[in-house]
Amino acid sequence: MDNQLKDFSENKNAIPILFISVFIIAGCGILYELLISSMSSYFLGSSILHFSLTIGFFLSAMGLGAYLSRWVKEEDLLWRFIQIELALGIIGGASGIILYGGYAFTQNYYLLAFSMIMIIGALVGIEIPLLTRIVQPHFKLADTLAQVLAYDYLGALVASVVFPLILVPYLGLMRTAFFIGLLNLWVGLFNLWIFRESLYRWQRGMWVGIICAVIYVFGFGFSFIIQDFMEEFLYNDDVILAKQSPYQRIIVTKDDNDLRLYLNGNLQFSSQDEHRYHEPLVHLPLALVRNPENILFLGAGDGLAVRELLKYPSIKSIDLVDLDKMMTDLAQKHPALLQLNEGALNQKMVKIFHQDAYKYLENNSKIYDLIIIDLPDPSEVSLGKLYSKEFYGLVRKRLTPDGAMVTQSASPFFTKKAFWCITNTLREVFPTLLPYTVHVPSFGQWGFNMALPYKMDKELALEKIQNRLFPKDQKQASFKYLNKEIIPTLFRFDEDLKEIPTEINTLNTQKLVQYYEKSWKIYNR
């Protein structure tokens, strides 16, 4: 054949170059796995499901690729390796834009995602056997395998650390795809140039690689513009802000007077009806606290719930714990969010802590009159722990004896088992529990759970809430949604929403995440 090795063994730099190539391509393989898993989780949620499926199918595809490598002839090893690197760069580098486009413009996202997994996995699986066979004549078999696998595993380690700490926070998903593709193209082109004298017709491969690399450099530079363009098709309204934080994709859209916030594609609020969510979340539990002074928020980084608290002059301090600094910075600085939250997070009494909520409760001994938990839905294990029996035990320890807590609890309609799982879990910790539900047009039927660290009859609790929010001797309170007559109705559940038995959620079982995922599968069909 034309593409054959001539004098590879005479090149003194050959072996070190190939070992460096092993290190880089191993990292690229892991990065592709993480990239596709993250994009699938971003678009469709359920990170455990998508990471598990991606890893499983990717490894299977690698096994298939390793098996197929047996048919590569000895005289073609180096040339086939370079061809595979170029192919990986071209296909892998385009994976970000392909998956974004697949989700935005077609109904076949899963078909595209699994096609990418199988193709990229198979190509990655061919690489290591080919490199092992190229290097093997220069070492004993044991030494060859030891060195190749050592570089392979080291590259995988570096990639797994770099992806969450550097690539996603600073480059975003689509730009990361172009970056990985460029790495593969660089490996292919570098090897092609170094070993050009050992290969016939190397110029053809060089031109293909250079052209693709130039295209991907432009793609890398304009990836945010491409991503913003595609995200316009993911949302009904105009995207006025798109940011990638270390923890999530933050999107703000606007249409006439409707401002909406999305985190990882999930709607957090609509300015048209957010008061129907935040007024019951804040004012109902606050009405059961005799003298509220010190308040703790877990989540609520958009500042809308904090805005409601600022209506009470008795409150002296508000501590807000939100992991994502980018989110709270936007709530403090972005004009549209500032107007909506009325500058709540810029008030002197508000202190912001960028920590994990679980760790904050573990390490902080401050006692609060009211703890409001407004965290994302329990769609994955890292969030499920914040709805666990152990977590609620920490919450109770941080409450005053006559205090109160409340947590958003997902939808009792769309995720019925998940909602009642939260309720039943809280009952294991608190002597008084008051579940309630609100209809929010942009969300649908939504649920909350209010808990007290002491015994109180439900009817007495409702009477106190009504009397304190709407006292007879004072002017009607200024609420957009709440009134005295509606209070009791919030604590009544329609027949199809009524309580059902569930297991409790613990750190060990994470039953809540399982309930939540199963519920949404029904509505995502």
**From CA 36, how far away is CA 57, in angstroms rounded?**
12
In this structure, the strands spanning 258-263 and 317-321 are unpaired
Q: For residues 42 and 46, what is the distance between their CA atoms, to the nearest angstrom?
A: 9
User: How far is it, in rounded angstroms, from Cα 304 to Cα 281?
Assistant: 11
> Per-residue pLDDT for the chain (525 aa), expressed as one digit of tens each?
334 444 455 555 677 787 888 888 888 888 999 999 888 877 776 677 788 888 899 899 989 988 998 888 877 788 888 888 899 999 999 998 888 888 878 878 888 899 999 999 999 888 888 878 887 776 676 776 777 788 888 888 998 899 888 888 788 888 899 999 999 999 889 888 888 777 777 888 888 889 999 999 998 888 878 877 777 777 778 888 888 887 888 889 998 889 999 988 788 999 999 999 999 999 999 999 988 999 999 999 999 999 999 989 889 999 999 999 999 999 999 999 999 999 999 999 999 999 999 999 999 989 999 999 999 888 888 888 999 999 999 999 999 999 999 999 999 999 999 999 999 999 999 999 999 999 999 989 999 999 999 999 999 999 999 999 988 766 655 789 999 899 999 999 999 999 999 999 998 888 998 888 888 666 554
Residue among 165, 186, 180 at smallest CA distance from 20 = 186
- How is the chain split into domains, by residue range? 8-230, 237-267, 275-523
User: Which residues make Cβ contacts (< 8 Å) with residue 196, sequence separation at least 6?
Assistant: 202, 206
Q: Are 463 and 455 in contact (CB under 8 A)?
A: no
Query: Domain 275-523 carries which CATH code?
Result: 3.40.50.150
pLDDT at 472: 79
Q: Say whether pTM exceeds 0.85.
A: no
The answer for residues whose C-beta is within 8 angstroms of residue 285's C-beta and 6 or more apart is 370, 372, 404, 405, 406, 450
What's the pLDDT at 5? 43
- C-alpha R_g of the chain: 28
- Residues forming a β-bridge with 374: 299
Which one, of 406, 390, 388, 377, lies nearest residue 516 by Cα?
Answer: 377
**Are the beta carbons of 101 and 230 closer than 8 angstroms?**
yes
Catalytic member of 273, 322, 324, 374 = 374
Q: CB–CB of 95/109 below 8 Å?
A: no
Give CA–CA dist 382/358, Å, rounded. 10
Crossing angle for the helix pair 14-44 and 47-68, to the nearest 10 degrees: 150
Short-list 439, 441, 438, 410, CA closest to 272: 441
Catalytic residue flag (residue 319) = no
Contacts of 320 (CB under 8 A, 6+ apart): 296, 297, 300, 301, 306, 328, 345, 350, 351, 352, 353
Give the burial string for 486-501 (b: 16+ CB within 10 Å, else e). ebeebbebeeebeeee
* Token output for 446: 């939504």
Angle at 34 between CA 29 and CA 37, to 5 degrees: 125
For 8-230, the fitting CATH number among 1.10.357.10, 2.40.40.20, 1.10.10.10, 1.20.1250.20 is 1.20.1250.20
Confidence at residue 149, expressed as pLDDT on a 0 to 100 scale: 80
Q: What pLDDT sits at residue 4? A: 42
Q: Which residues are CB-neighbours of 236 under 8 A, at least 6 positions away?
A: 253, 255
